[in-house]
Structure 1
Amino acid sequence: MKKITKLLWVFGLVMVLTGCSANQEQPNTEVDETTSEVEESQTDSGENAETEVIKTVEPTFGGTLRIASYAPKTLDPLKNDQQSVLQVLGLVYEPLFVLDETLMPIPVIVASHSFENEGATLTIKLKDNVLFHNGVKLTASDVAYTINRIKDVDYSSYKNQVRPIKNTTVVDELTLKIYYNQGYAFALSDLTFPIVSRQYVSSSDYDEMFPIGTGPYRFVEYQQMQNFDLTANLDWHGDGPYIENIKGVIMNDGQAMETLFDQKLIDIMNPSNFNWLKYSSNEEQNITSYTSSYYDFIGFNFDRPLFLDKETRQAFAYAVNREFILYDRYINHGKLVNAPIIPGSWYATGRELYYNYDMDVAKRLVESKYVDFDGDGFFDYADEAKQTSIELTMLVNKENSLRVHTADIIKKDFEALGFKILLDVVEPNLYYEKIESGDYDLLYGGWKMSQVPDYGSLFASNGLQNHIRYKSETMDQLINSIVGAYTMDQLKASVNNFETHMIEEVPYISLYFLDGAVMSGKNVYGKIHPNTEWMFHGIENLYLDF
């Protein structure tokens, strides 16, 4: 690790880890290395005057950063399924590539790469100065072993990322060829899984509770149900981190993380459901925001004849005041979207927002289709004699309190359009049962979208998660064109066509991608580049006032 001796003097307002949260187009703000304190002094006339005392905080090696994590079930990075543990393992292990703020793959331990055969063959040459924490040099054999191990283990969250790989060939110590069934545009983006040591993991000495990687921090120890300790890797191939040690505090549940942070028992956190209303005006911490991959939507049940009519679906889309919801519930910490395409990503179209709130347009689309026979403000079924209002149930997961409150706003919007809405707010297990059985008219929910989008499972006619029962040959063709694209230009064109179809057909009302946030105490300086998957991108830039 490079020893840091240069002093950085930048005067001004301290802005540390500031920005927006999970939906973070501008995930990082410049950070000054000074803080100021105000003291009172007397002037010659005897009056009190405020003088500013500048406290300089220099980027210095040392200190301990405290973070929170659940008790790990395993510290094998390829088998781990706990998000909080992933944050820890990401400090110990490194992938071939990471995704930047635009989701563009950036090399980490790769010196160069090239494609052949229309993207079906990828040649990777590794950096020559990368060592595992036990002193063993990283080689192409370790990468090949990692890929095969992901394929072979019963469970790995990275299985989808290696599924397109047909086989690999080790050319020499640092060179590997990866063969695919066909080229595809996200080949590099899928190579973001941690690389493990073949020598260590395949040996009889392997202990899955003692990880050995190539990352900026070495694992020291784990005290069961108490804490774990990491220390800076002085042989790291990158510009060494300023923070010397990281201590993990074991928590029992997600809300315990906020409690630990509020009580200043940890220095940094990245809650999965960030409460902007609680923290946005709190001056006791710094916030770095980013565009998350959490996407909220309203889905139509296509088994209901009412929603087979495209103009009716469009009317519902115009009737939702998304702008107000984003302001009222999230203080504008999110991005309104036309489709489930992560804003700011390199493949996003940047198209202007469609279906801006317009109740007049919404009513014109349905006024000739439905009739309010009894004058109660709600459309009725076609049988004039019965004069029964059309009642639609909107299914909501009770576990998500923000969505429960937002559902009331949406209900009022749809009722202003002329449709009576019954909210069906249920416990999570029943919520998913009703989705599977189709026991709803409208579905208010959300997805954590993959940073490498898998639209097939969500929108294809036979998609495993196509819970709204939407079937479209055109959509199937569009998804196939996305899967088949192997250049960036092809992919962008295919995603643009997909978004056009989503706008025209409205199988879902796309609401927004929410912002996520990394929060840190006032003792943490520097800037990082978080995303939904990992909060510590740029950990080497952080330093402490200790």
Structure 2
Amino acid sequence: MKHKKIISSIIILLLLLSITACRTDNIDEEITVNYEEESIVYEPIEGGQIVLPLTNLSTLNPLMTENISYYHFGKLIFEGLFQIGNNLNVIPQLAEDYSITNEGKTIAIKLKKGVSWHDGSEFTSKDVGFTISTLKYGKDTSSYYNMFQATDDIFSLSGMSIITDFNIVDDYTIDIHFKDGASNNLELLTFPIIPQHVFAESKNTFASALELENYVPIGTGPYKFVEYEKFKNVSLIAFSGYREGKPYITNIDGKVLEDDKLIVTAFETGQLSMANSLGVDWDKYKSNNRIKIIEYISNNYEFIGFNFEKEIFQEESGLAIRKAINYGIDRQAIISKIYLGHASQIDVPIHPDSWLLTDDANTYGYSIEKAKEVLNQAKWLDRDNDGILENENGEKLTIKILTNGSNQLRLNTTNMLVDDLKKLGFEVIKDYGETYFESPTDDSVSTQWEEIERKISEGEFDLVALGWEMAIIPNYSSMFYSVDTELGDNFIRYRNEKMDELLLNIHSATNRDYKKRAYSYLQEFVVNELPYISLFYKNRALLVDTRIQGDLNPTFFNPYNGLENCFIPQELR
């Protein structure tokens, strides 16, 4: 298993895989809102300025950027045919309507009319065709092409190569043809559309559209690019020609800062209007009337993996042990004590907000009685009264657990897991350092990961507590598909023909109803078979200056979701 498979670039994973109202306060605390009193209702009004965080940029080109902060910021400028909705399903953005035909191999798209580029030109199907051609031309360089390739699984072609052709029917109609009827074809059409006419005069239009330097962003989104002061600031202004109406907030600046710690510090000192929190202790901001906290579920999935080459986890006896462990882990206690309540328990590796989720996602609850009952039925008993269970051959129930101690939350979680397992009668060997260093060096973290990778690669573990940054388009074959045990993925060495069949069905679902049904069967199988024990998804929080009012609904793939409808009351500017 590669290191990047565990903690790979978020921006690559994003495309693969709490409605709240913001109350306001003056940033200098000249006006104070008492939250215990009746809320003040303000009328939306145009004007005002906010500042959002960016980290160091190498380009403003949305097809080439690998910067996650600009990826999010860029959603204010650029739009796609489709976007991911709050429930992680695909919803039209520049598309008005669509139909899936030819066994899922063709998506016919009707475009919205009256959409303008920021330079006043009309958006048409030619722009869509040009963007697709640009991405296919830039297969070796485009970050979006690479993102699509990262969605690739054992069943499909690599990324954009699955799009074989397109047919422009008229200015507002385009048919896009795919190599096969893969269930994620619609999700692939969320890439940002760029304007053909801007690059039409270039000798090589596709190469020009993929330029890194001196790229001038022109999109169809609610905000229009004004200027970029390199390594310092990106300025946007509300687009008066936006089809949904001009945004209320007039100016948005992206302030470039070195890292996430400096971003939070800048927010705390009033230099930024929003910032994602660090860690899990954001409740400390509740006493600050300048700060509104909007919590949401991240894509950080924590789990326990088994080494299925170990006899102890095989056959019916092995399934009993896996079920006992799942019943015996007090996940709510971990969430409460370690994550301060900021995580969402789940039994499957599917995001808790997903439209694909079924009731199977919450099957197991903490029950030490059920856990012990399952172990006793499998003939694991404390035969010598030493507190450790033995089987009929007198072999003790001993397991070795591996994790990365450089991650304090995961270290503390694993220690609680060990305590829970001991209560069930397991003898647990900790194969990790128990001391967390407050500021581990990059070298020490890298060295630790290299050792973990070696142990996993060589099968020197029984249990492993780790995490994935899950995708909007998850690649479950890399987690569970049998063939991937030989390809370096599926590091738990899980082999099951039924699972392989379910994964194939997910891949080949030719419409949305079939896709939902295929995911339902997968979830039922996962909670019964338990190739992983799902612990929870970690939550995050967007910290927002309370001058900003309106329906802001951050998600892990778009923290500024709804910002175009927010406003700053005149009296709070």
Q: Establish whether TM, by shorter chain, passes 0.5.
A: yes
Q: What's the RMSD between the two structures over aligned residues? A: 2.9
**Does 1:297 pair with 2:303?**
yes
Equivalent residue for 2:152? none
Partner AA of 1:430 in structure 2: E
Secondary structure of the structure 1 residue equivalent to 2:479: helix
Q: Give the distance between the partners of 1:218 and 1:195, measured in 2 at CA.
A: 15
**Does 1:151 pair with 2:113?**
no
Q: Deviations over 1:217-269 (max 9, x none)?
A: 12222222222211111222222211111111211122222111112211112
Q: Give the distance between the partners of 1:280 and 1:293, measured in 2 at CA.
A: 24
Secondary structure of the structure 1 residue equivalent to 2:409: helix
Greater RCO between the two (CA within 8 Å, min separation 6)? 2
Q: Deviations over 1:383-410 (max 9, x none)?
A: 86xx8x6653322223432112211111
Q: Deviations over 1:117-145 (max 9, x none)?
A: 23321111222222222333222122122
Trace 1:209-288 onto structure 2 (pairs within 5 A).
209-271=215-277, 275-276=281-282, 278-279=284-285, 283-288=289-294
Gaps of 5+ in 1: 1-26, 40-50
CA contact (8 A) 1:138 1:197 kept: yes
**Does 1:29 pair with 2:20?**
yes
Q: Are the structure 2 counterparts of residues 434 and 70 from structure 1 closer, same or farther at C-alpha, using a change threshold of 3 Å?
A: farther
Q: Are the structure 2 counterparts of residues 274 and 232 from structure 1 closer, same or farther at C-alpha, using a change threshold of 3 Å?
A: farther
**Alignment partner for residue 356 of structure 1, among 352, 358, 365?**
365
Shift of 1:294: 2.2
Shift of 1:336: 1.7
Equivalent residue for 1:316? 325
Q: Give the distance between the partners of 2:505 and 2:450, measured in 1 at CA.
A: 35
Q: More deviation in 450-459 or 51-60? A: 51-60
Q: Are the structure 2 counterparts of residues 38 and 357 from structure 1 closer, same or farther at C-alpha, using a change threshold of 3 Å?
A: closer
Equivalent residue for 1:419? 427
Secondary structure of the structure 2 residue equivalent to 1:287: strand
Gaps of 5+ in 2: 1-17, 150-158, 203-207, 434-444
Query: When the two structures are superposed, what TM-score results if normalisation uses the length of structure 2?
Result: 0.81
Trace 1:48-127 onto structure 2 (pairs within 5 A).
57-127=42-112
**Alignment partner for residue 520 of structure 1, among 537, 544, 550?**
544
CA contact (8 A) 2:226 2:235 kept: yes
Q: Are the structure 2 counterparts of residues 239 and 432 from structure 1 closer, same or farther at C-alpha, using a change threshold of 3 Å?
A: farther
CA contact (8 A) 2:81 2:95 kept: yes
Q: Are the structure 2 counterparts of residues 332 and 53 from structure 1 closer, same or farther at C-alpha, using a change threshold of 3 Å?
A: closer
Pairs aligned (count): 506
Q: Give the distance between the partners of 2:84 and 2:42, measured in 1 at CA.
A: 30
Partner AA of 2:324 in structure 1: A
Shift of 1:68: 0.9
Partner AA of 2:100 in structure 1: F
Equivalent residue for 1:44? none
Q: Give the distance between the partners of 2:276 and 2:24, measured in 1 at CA.
A: 23
Q: Are the structure 2 counterparts of residues 489 and 159 from structure 1 closer, same or farther at C-alpha, using a change threshold of 3 Å?
A: closer
Q: Give the distance between the partners of 1:416 and 1:504, measured in 2 at CA.
A: 23
Q: More deviation in 499-508 or 343-352? A: 343-352
Q: Deviations over 1:47-75 (max 9, x none)?
A: xxxx9899664422111111111111222
Q: Give the distance between the partners of 2:401 and 2:419, measured in 1 at CA.
A: 12
Equivalent residue for 1:5? none
Q: Give the distance between the partners of 1:455 and 1:397, measured in 2 at CA.
A: 23
CA contact (8 A) 2:360 2:527 kept: no
Q: Are the structure 2 counterparts of residues 433 and 267 from structure 1 closer, same or farther at C-alpha, using a change threshold of 3 Å?
A: farther
Secondary structure of the structure 1 residue equivalent to 2:415: helix
Equivalent residue for 1:128? 113
Q: Give the distance between the partners of 1:222 and 1:501, measured in 2 at CA.
A: 51
**Alignment partner for residue 415 of structure 2, among 388, 401, 408?**
408
Q: Are the structure 2 counterparts of residues 300 and 203 from structure 1 closer, same or farther at C-alpha, using a change threshold of 3 Å?
A: farther
Equivalent residue for 1:541? 565
Partner AA of 1:405 in structure 2: N
CA contact (8 A) 2:107 2:176 kept: yes
Q: Give the distance between the partners of 1:399 and 1:500, measured in 2 at CA.
A: 34
Q: Deviations over 1:294-317 (max 9, x none)?
A: 211111111222122111111111
CA contact (8 A) 1:338 1:353 kept: yes
CA contact (8 A) 1:139 1:173 kept: yes
Shift of 1:380: 6.3
CA contact (8 A) 1:145 1:198 kept: yes
Secondary structure of the structure 2 residue equivalent to 1:182: coil
Equivalent residue for 1:181? 179
Q: Are the structure 2 counterparts of residues 539 and 247 from structure 1 closer, same or farther at C-alpha, using a change threshold of 3 Å?
A: same
Partner AA of 2:232 in structure 1: Q
| Identical columns (%) | 32
Secondary structure of the structure 2 residue equivalent to 1:145: helix
Q: Give the distance between the partners of 2:554 and 2:37, measured in 1 at CA.
A: 33
Query: When the two structures are superposed, what TM-score results if normalisation uses the length of structure 1?
Result: 0.85
Shift of 1:517: 2.4
Q: Give the distance between the partners of 1:38 and 1:235, measured in 2 at CA.
A: 35
Shift of 1:337: 1.4
Q: Give the distance between the partners of 1:468 and 1:375, measured in 2 at CA.
A: 33
**Does 1:394 pair with 2:401?**
yes
- The structure richer in strand per residue is 1
Q: Give the distance between the partners of 2:390 and 2:55, measured in 1 at CA.
A: 52
Partner AA of 2:168 in structure 1: V
Q: Give the distance between the partners of 1:524 and 1:404, measured in 2 at CA.
A: 37
Shift of 1:510: 0.8
Equivalent residue for 1:171? 169
Q: Are the structure 2 counterparts of residues 489 and 107 from structure 1 closer, same or farther at C-alpha, using a change threshold of 3 Å?
A: closer
**Does 1:342 pair with 2:351?**
yes
Equivalent residue for 1:438? 459
Equivalent residue for 2:4? none
Q: Give the distance between the partners of 1:362 and 1:70, measured in 2 at CA.
A: 47
Shift of 1:457: 2.0
Shift of 1:516: 2.8
